[in-house]
Amino acid sequence: MEAYTGFAQVYDLFMDNVPYEQWSRYIISLLKEHNIRDGLVLDLGCGTGKITRLLSEAGYDMIGVDNSEEMLQQALEQEHETILYLCQDMREFELYGTVAAVISICDSINYILEEGELLQVFRLVNNYLDPGGVFIFDLNTLYKYRELLGESAICENREEGSFIWENYYDEETGINEYDLTLFVREPSGLYRKFEETHAQRGYELETVIGLIWEAGMEFVAAYDAFTREPPRPDSERIYIIAREHGKRSE
């Protein structure tokens, strides 16, 4: 079932507890630490463009890529004319040239369910990075799926809409399946029901680092989210930084 269709209409409503400004400050600080103070930046899996717009306001020239037309429509309605949005799958995205940096947050990379496909994403990122450009992305951890999300339900009810978010974690595959039931308020005052299924996969950090090197990039660092500390056994989200260090011919 296609993800982020009905949910796109109320995504920002139900994600208003996410501190996007804080997240953007953290990302900007990482970019600046690696000498990316301006220039062209790709937001891979940009969704409704919250972080994309905040980085644009910070002076970066932004491109947003997402494979959900509905999410991108929400982004376009913000009328931020300086951002280029492209509807593409991150496993096969194409740009017209290279960029200074690529970011991918809000667990977008967790939606890649196969190691081979994750390697392909990393290779594409490496291909479109300027020499020495950086790739910054986050991941939900196996700990989070196994101990906090798996076999749980999250429910929220508001006047504008409501959702039931049921989680099912498969220990063998590392995949967490989300079954979403949404009731979205229409202009008439009636509610329309949507059902969506999402799946995300947790990866061991060592696996991700190995794929980064195999893709031709250099692994730089991994942090417990929003810190400069190494990941802990109970980290729920981690940030990983990789760098382009010379394209290799296939």
Q: Using pLDDT thresholds of 50, 70 and 90, give the confidence band for residue 231.
A: very high
- pLDDT of 2: 47
Tens-digit pLDDT profile for residues 31-59: 999 999 999 999 999 988 999 999 999 99
Residues shown for the chain: 250
Q: How far apart are CA 182 and CA 157, in angstroms?
A: 10
Q: Using pLDDT thresholds of 50, 70 and 90, give the confidence band for residue 164.
A: confident
Q: Where is average pLDDT lowest: 5-9, 22-26, 203-207?
A: 5-9
Beta bridge partners of 85: 64
Which CATH number is associated with domain 16-140+203-244?
Answer: 3.40.50.150
Q: Where in the chain is the domain with CATH 3.40.50.150?
A: 16-140+203-244
> Is the C-alpha dihedral spanning 189, 193, 199, 202 positive or negative?
positive
pLDDT at 156 over 90: no
CATH topology of domain 143-201: N-terminal domain of TfIIb (2.20.25)
* Average pLDDT, rounded, for the chain: 90
Q: Using pLDDT thresholds of 50, 70 and 90, give the confidence band for residue 1.
A: very low
Q: Where in the chain is the domain with CATH 2.20.25.110?
A: 143-201
Helix (H, G, I), strand (E, B) or coil at 139: strand
CA atoms within 13 A on the CB side of 4: 19
